[in-house]
Structure 1
Amino acid sequence: MSAPVRQGGAEAKPRTASAPDNARPRHILLIEDTPSLQMVYRSVLASAGHRVAVAGTAAEGLARFHEVTPSVVLLDLMLPDRDGLDLMQDMLRLRPETNVIVITANGSINKAVEAMRAGAHEFLVKPFDEQRFLGAVENASQARTPRQPRRAVPEPEAPVVLSGSFLGSSDAMERIQSKIRSAARSMATVFITGESGTGKELCALAVHANSPRASGPFIALNCGAIPQDLLESEVFGHVKGSFTGAIADKPGAAAAADGGTLFLDEICEMAPALQTKLLRFLQTSTVQPVGATRPRKVNVRIVCATNRDPLDAVRRGHFREDLYYRLYVVPVHMPPLRERGDDVIEIAEAALSRFAAEEGREFTGLDPEVAALFRRHPWPGNVRQVLNVIRNVVVLNDGGLVTPRMLPDDFSDQDLPVDVALPGALPTSSEPILNGLIGRTLAEIEQIVIEATIARHGGSVPKAARVLDVSPSTLYRKRESWKG
């Protein structure tokens, strides 16, 4: 087994400080097979005002679970008589409202992630310090029941609360809504992937709206749209005078999201130095603004997103592996619109109704020819492109049935042009574009497309960034890396 809880590099000793006035003793069940760790964990918990029951095996733990009805279970996944994950699932079947914190060693992080997906509230990786330990227990103790008990007669599942254009009845979207329904009730981090324009932020909003934190704030931060030298201040805040331009205290996104959800978009664009601080924040649930001398504890649920392959970013050294495992607990992949069947019609009709009301116009729907055209179109810009097309129609036309002639001049049911000459592509301009990309790595294809887009816009990186739906700083960093 790994080393026990540590405090300042030494084995933790019982604290004499009393529990906060508003903290009531809570039943905690500790299931740990190492006597020395049992003693340390129990001492730390007792000194914080918790009532602790201890078990050394899975069988004993299940018996104590029935006896004490704990609100929180601390469960070591490596038990001598049974797999800890199986034990956790049995306990959650008996009392789904129980919050389980799993404890594991460094070499078993994948097991901890599996436990989070199976319903664990949080996980701790040994060795951990006392502050992290008590913080996890306190968050679990204060969490409202994240899961509803199962009933003998199944009831219809509550519909997912949707917002904006997060619509669709396709099988793919039904699977996503089912996953959101399950994940929203827990504290597990949700990691959303998908192409630009597929609705990743709307997915994050749906997770928040269907969670016990729905009444709390939803704070969104685009990690790729903020200059790296200001990103730490945006996330963690700063105090007045901490740097040039800091004319007043600023709480930061993490503190602003206290009691709610913090959505970190384009997470893979975060600078390595800030990734380290984000990992520390996830481990301790505390933020320390730039220039501040003391950290502040917050209670925040993290949802993040990227249009890149996060595991590929880890392999390339652009994203910390330990941060990846901490965040990549409940993955949700938003499919491109071209794979969602008739969802495009549902989205277009909803957008038509909304935009017409905003502009004071009266539209009656989509012409069958337009609907067929929409179904055939590849929609490289995904949902965002649909909204732009419908907005254009509503603004430039008086109303009635949407016909093909109302569509924007640059809209076509054809795929991307086949005669685009890309820098570095092998074929001549008369050959299909894909022939010049087959056999190349994704990194090479990315460079070709980025450079071609910049060239098409007269060398303007900001204009190219708008077309590619990324921040200019992302393109500047990529081009700098290619020079090296």
Structure 2
Amino acid sequence: MTSRATPAAKAANAPVLLIEDTASLAMVYRSVLTSAGHRVLVAGTAAEGLTLFRDRSPSVVLLDLLLPDRNGLELMQDFLALRPSAAIIVITANGSIAKAVEAMRAGAHEFLVKPFDEQRLLAAVENAARPRPVVVPPPAVPRPVSRASSEAFIGSSPVMDRIHATIRSVASSMATVFITGESGTGKELCALAVHDNSARASGPFIALNCGAIPQDLLESEVFGHMKGSFTGAVSDKPGAATAADGGTLFLDEVCEMAPALQTKLLRFLQTSTVQPVGATRPRKVNVRIICATNRDPADAVRRGQFREDLYYRLYVVPIHMPPLRERGNDVIEIAEAALSRFGAEEGRAFDGLAPQVANLFRRLPWPGNVRQVLNVIRNVVVLNEGGLVTPDMLPAHLADQDDAPEPLAAEAPAPQIDSLIGLTLAEIERQVIEATIARHGGSVPKAARVLDIAPSTLYRKREGWAQD
């Protein structure tokens, strides 16, 4: 089996996007591609796939035509409208050959009919990743020169200067780096920066999202398995730790790892050996570990959800990626860089942000951080012809997140401690949540930021209360 990605794919350093709603198949396809040296992004729905396509600019898209939330052909048209040069490989069942032919006519690069073997999958992906003739845009339109989503590391704020200095200092060592920060702040890009500035830059960078893989498959995904070691293990499979030999293993959302696997990870860190499921002998590997989480790892230790000895083993050089709202004028630099890059990709020339837009961007809390800024700018570029970006060109929902003056606290008094005595915890929680939402003018997203929980959790709780 191929052990490394093609030179063209490595040069582009762009990931492969896999959109497959059957979790078991997604894990198999991802394992095959990762073992061959590809960086893989996985989405289970059309909505997730579209977001990753916009944010991460994958070199190749593997698209299952049967998705739970949308027709795959319609999604492919959106991809090609956003980036006509995208290489899309459609995946279809044996009874849907007509759909595959339709997809080819609509612009797909190739199609795969289930079931297909590893070599067929790898050949299709590597063929799609080969450089194709590029249509040179008119001279007046600049060509994109930055790596996808590199805007996350643009910024001259003091906090980003300190992060860059830390990366430069730690990159040359073997010390484990532990990256924390909210979703969308660029934790994986930070890990890539450490890898790219190290002596391991020519080696593989293997990223594994511990929160996106079922716990019963995670051990096999990290350490691999031997043929016949469990039902469905039809061949030997190297895990991510083996695939990262000579390079870097990035464990994202590491606090979501099951306790039993935490023990094995600790042993791996202590011995630098991996033992695949079903193997009788361990194998020595040379891997640098970088991990990340959007949770507070110390709190996970206190709650008994994360081993304390593993925490201290991993938490050697901490790097905290700050939320965008704490990075001052960086948001303007990020937005303008994205505007230039996306405009070049779409063949449209923009003249920057109007003062009103720049002021709004500085005020906004950006709960989705850099990822949200990129989505907003992509929306502006796709839906407008060019020129100066004015407020009327922004997505309509953006103004709802404006941290303009809030209603006075007196208009929504918080519950007093004495009034809570005698209530159940559930009743207290409801009063506090409703009072927080009221204090923030009825805005659930703003209340969620104050309460440090997801807006979806608040919506779900309120729906449940309405049914009581």
Shorter-normalised TM-score: what interval? 0.5 to 0.7
Q: Secondary structure at the match of 1:393?
A: helix
1:231-281, Cα deviation, whole Å (9 max, x unpaired): 111111111222222222211110111000000010111110000000000
Q: Look up the match of 1:326.
A: 313
Q: Look up the match of 2:439.
A: 432
Q: Look up the match of 1:164.
A: 150
Q: Is 1:175 aligned to residue 162 of structure 2?
A: yes
Query: Quick one: distance in 2 between partners of 1:233 and 1:430?
Result: 44
> 1:430, CA displacement in angstroms?
7.4
Question: Would you identify which runs of 4 or more consecutive aligned residues in structure 1 move more than 4 Å?
Answer: 416-423, 427-430, 433-437, 444-450, 455-459
Query: Quick one: distance in 2 between partners of 1:457 and 1:350?
Result: 40
Change (3 A) 1:404 1:449: closer
2:403 to 415, 418, 425: 415
Q: Highest CA radius of gyration, 1 or 2?
A: 1
1:377-431, Cα deviation, whole Å (9 max, x unpaired): 1111111110110111111111111111110010116239879999613355873
> 1:171, CA displacement in angstroms?
0.4
Q: Is 1:230 aligned to residue 246 of structure 2?
A: no
Higher helix share: 2
Q: Secondary structure at the match of 2:430?
A: coil
Residues 254 and 300 in structure 1, CA contact (< 8 A), matched pair in contact too? yes
- Choose 345-354 or 358-367, whichever is displaced more: 358-367
Specify the code of the residue in structure 2 equivalent to 1:263: F
Specify the code of the residue in structure 1 equivalent to 2:460: I
Q: Is 1:452 aligned to residue 461 of structure 2?
A: no
> 1:360, CA displacement in angstroms?
2.1
Specify the code of the residue in structure 2 equivalent to 1:316: R
Residues 196 and 381 in structure 1, CA contact (< 8 A), matched pair in contact too? yes
> 1:376, CA displacement in angstroms?
1.1
Query: Quick one: distance in 1 between partners of 2:367 and 2:233?
Result: 41
- Choose 421-430 or 251-260, whichever is displaced more: 421-430
Where structure 2 has 5 or more consecutive residues not aligned to the other structure, the ranges are 1-146, 415-427
Change (3 A) 1:188 1:290: same
Residues 162 and 206 in structure 1, CA contact (< 8 A), matched pair in contact too? no
Q: Secondary structure at the match of 2:216?
A: helix
Query: Quick one: distance in 1 between partners of 2:303 and 2:230?
Result: 33
- Ranked by relative contact order (alpha carbons within 8 Å, sequence separation 6 or more), the top structure is 2
Residues 360 and 402 in structure 2, CA contact (< 8 A), matched pair in contact too? no
2:187 to 170, 195, 200: 200
After superposition, where does 1:71-86 map in structure 2 within 5 Å? none
Query: Quick one: distance in 2 between partners of 1:207 and 1:313?
Result: 25
Q: Is 1:406 aligned to residue 413 of structure 2?
A: no
1:25-61, Cα deviation, whole Å (9 max, x unpaired): xxxxxxxxxxxxxxxxxxxxxxxxxxxxxxxxxxxxx
2:208 to 192, 203, 221: 221
- Pairwise CA RMSD: 3.2
After superposition, where does 1:106-255 map in structure 2 within 5 Å? 164-165=150-151, 166-255=153-242
Specify the code of the residue in structure 1 equivalent to 2:395: P
Q: Look up the match of 1:468.
A: none
Q: Look up the match of 1:301.
A: 288
TM-score of the aligned structures, taking structure 2 as reference length: 0.58
Query: Quick one: distance in 1 between partners of 2:260 and 2:451?
Result: 28
Query: Quick one: distance in 1 between partners of 2:305 and 2:452?
Result: 16
Specify the code of the residue in structure 2 equivalent to 1:253: A
Residues 167 and 347 in structure 1, CA contact (< 8 A), matched pair in contact too? yes
2:324 to 337, 357, 382: 337
TM-score of the aligned structures, taking structure 1 as reference length: 0.56
Q: Look up the match of 2:377.
A: 390
2:362 to 357, 375, 396: 375
Specify the code of the residue in structure 1 equivalent to 2:150: G
> 1:434, CA displacement in angstroms?
10
Specify the code of the residue in structure 2 equivalent to 1:164: S
Change (3 A) 1:435 1:365: closer
Q: Look up the match of 2:46.
A: none
Q: Is 1:357 aligned to residue 328 of structure 2?
A: no
Change (3 A) 1:230 1:172: same
Change (3 A) 1:446 1:335: closer
Q: Look up the match of 1:282.
A: 269
Aligned residues: 295
Query: Quick one: distance in 1 between partners of 2:173 and 2:236?
Result: 33
> 1:449, CA displacement in angstroms?
5.1
Residues 437 and 443 in structure 2, CA contact (< 8 A), matched pair in contact too? no
Query: Quick one: distance in 2 between partners of 1:457 and 1:357?
Result: 44
1:311 to 298, 318, 321: 298
